[in-house]
């Protein structure tokens, strides 16, 4: 009886152990893939929500400021509102698709009311890779956003340097940045694209926010708003 009991205590064969290990490895890899995918989806969703919310906040600020744009103090035409640079009040003959320069009458008590007549009242929006002050050469440096760059929507006031307004803006797909993440379209009162500055009554802003740009999990969200110019003609 004793020898029979010992004889019945069989173990696993080598082939059985190897098959069991392979099955366990397959199951573990499957569980790891599910866990990894869950983390990717969670992280991507959080990043996208954060980027879109930031873009929405920046877009709302742009909308408020553009809506309140005032005419430039130019004797030939007080109705012009878009200007070339904060150092003068020259009316631009073309309407830029990737940047915008205009004025808000922010200090009515110090200057002519309802007219942009001081450099400090000029606001600029532009899609850039970076912007900083070069102390050695005493000038503001604007780094153009090109294909493959990490781009942001920048804002400046007066003669100051640009500061970031919206991060994670989509980089342009062509050079120069005609297809970048910030685009302005200028419309007349009928919603048709205007050919001259004097005809502009509405500004359409399109903002593309890119999350995890360049990775396989990249996602883009487009935000669009149209702004009616309230102070046109004052």
Full pLDDT tens readout for the chain, 234 residues: 555 555 555 677 878 888 888 888 888 888 888 877 776 766 667 777 777 787 888 899 999 998 888 776 554 444 556 653 333 333 344 567 888 888 787 666 656 666 777 777 788 898 888 888 888 888 888 888 887 778 889 998 877 788 889 888 888 776 554 567 888 888 888 989 887 777 888 999 998 887 765 555 566 788 899 999 887 654
Structure tokens at 46: 């959080």
Q: Is residue 69 part of a domain?
A: yes
Q: Is residue 17 part of a domain?
A: no
d(CA 101, CA 94) in angstroms, rounded, equals 12
Please state whether 132 falls in left (phi above 0), alpha (psi between -120 and 50) or beta.
Answer: beta
Please say whether the dihedral angle defined by the alpha carbons of residues 22, 27, 30 and 31, taken in this order, is positive or negative.
Answer: negative
Quick one: pLDDT at residue 30? 84
Q: Is residue 213 part of a domain?
A: yes
pLDDT in tens, 14-45: 788 888 888 888 888 888 888 777 767 666 67
**Chain centroid offset of residue 224 CA:** 12
pLDDT in tens, 85-101: 333 333 344 567 888 88
Q: Is residue 35 part of a domain?
A: no
> What letters, b where the CB count within 10 A reaches 16 and e where it falls short, cover 191-216?
eeebeebeebbbbebbbbbbbbbeee
Structure tokens at 88: 């003068």
Q: Is residue 95 part of a domain?
A: yes
Q: Is residue 38 part of a domain?
A: no
> What letters, b where the CB count within 10 A reaches 16 and e where it falls short, cover 20-30?
eeeeeeeeeee
Q: Is residue 129 part of a domain?
A: yes
**Chain centroid offset of residue 2 CA:** 81
**Domain count across the chain:** 1
CB 103 within 8 A of CB 81: yes
**Chain centroid offset of residue 163 CA:** 13
Domain extent for 186:
45-228
Q: Is residue 12 part of a domain?
A: no
Quick one: pLDDT at residue 16? 80
**Kind plus residue range of the DSSP H or E element containing 124:** strand 122-134
């Amino acid at each position: 009886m004793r020898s029979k009991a010992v004889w019945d205590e069989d173990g696993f064969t080598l082939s059985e152990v190897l098959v069991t290990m392979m099955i366990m490895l397959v199951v573990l890899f499957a569980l790891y893939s599910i866990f990894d995918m869950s983390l990717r989806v969670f992280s991507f969703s959080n990043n996208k929500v954060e980027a879109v919310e930031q873009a929405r906040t920046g877009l709302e600020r742009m909308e408020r400021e553009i809506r309140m744009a005032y005419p430039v103090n130019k004797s030939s035409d007080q109705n012009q509102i878009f200007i070339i640079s904060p150092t003068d009040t020259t009316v631009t003959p073309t309407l830029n698709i990737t940047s915008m320069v205009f004025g808000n009458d922010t200090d009515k008590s110090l200057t002519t009311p309802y007219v942009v007549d001081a450099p400090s009242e000029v606001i600029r929006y532009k899609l850039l890779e970076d912007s900083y002050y070069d102390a050695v050469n005493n000038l503001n440096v604007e780094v153009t956003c090109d294909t493959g760059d990490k781009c942001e929507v920048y804002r400046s006031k007066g003669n100051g340097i640009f500061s970031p307004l919206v991060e994670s803006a989509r980089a342009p797909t062509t050079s120069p940045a005609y297809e970048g993440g910030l685009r302005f379209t200028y419309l007349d009162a009928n919603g048709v694209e205007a050919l001259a500055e004097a005809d502009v009554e509405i500004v359409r802003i399109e903002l593309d926010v890119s999350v995890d740009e360049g990775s396989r999990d990249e996602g883009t969200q487009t935000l669009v708003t149209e702004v009616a110019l309230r102070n046109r003609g004052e």
